Structure 1
Amino acid sequence: ATLPAWRGIGLYPRLLQAILAAESDTAARFWIAYLPENHASARGITKAGFRSVGAVVGTDGQLRLHAGSDGARGIHGAALLGLPHGERGVGTMRRIWGAALSVGNAVVTGSK
């Protein structure tokens, strides 16, 4: 957790951007996950340039990745995480975490 005095000044997005910049020569895609109740992390991840690709949900005791608006990336993410790709509306769902992706060497600079 970030100390209160250091919250809201864009440290997390800048840290993520620095990691992307340092590792962009060795990877084409970067994935990050966060707990859905951690809204601050979700905002920082988005500010760093990541896009949501889906949500990992618990469906009748099993984890699945339900793709967001970009189904192809969601299916790729499910394979990467070793999870089945789920269909919405099947069984009892509980969101476990979100998954986000940054593509290529595009690193967003600047923040808040």
Structure 2
Amino acid sequence: MAIQPDEKYCTECGALINRKAEICPKCGIRQTPAPFTSSLGAIAPNGRSRLAAALFALFLGSLGIHKFYLGSIGWGIMYILFCWTGIPTIVGFIEGVLLLIMSEETFNMKYGGSYGGS
């Protein structure tokens, strides 16, 4: 399910609402404008940034910092346990690139929930 041009996510609860809505019909919270205009620096409803996650993956991917940031604690621990092999470094770099090219809608659907994604 892709987000339509006339829709956006509620800044509080993450519900899909009309782009022009001033108050979310689900949670009743007044909507504030997005802090960033670029989609790369956009913030998910839970406060996580796609750009921050991508930078963590590119520069600290060998330690799995991006996994901890995105809420995947188990995967973060796996990256730390196997960081000596170099495999998490390669995988972290690839995930960083994927996060950079990922659409804002996909990022919000995968990681925009309250406590992270997969």
Q: Given the two structures, how large is their TM-score scaled by the length of structure 2?
A: 0.28
Give the helix-richer structure, 1 or 2. Answer: 2
**Bigger Rg over Cα:** 2
The structure, 1 or 2, with the larger RCO (C-alpha pairs under 8 Å, 6+ apart) is 1
Give the strand-richer structure, 1 or 2. Answer: 1
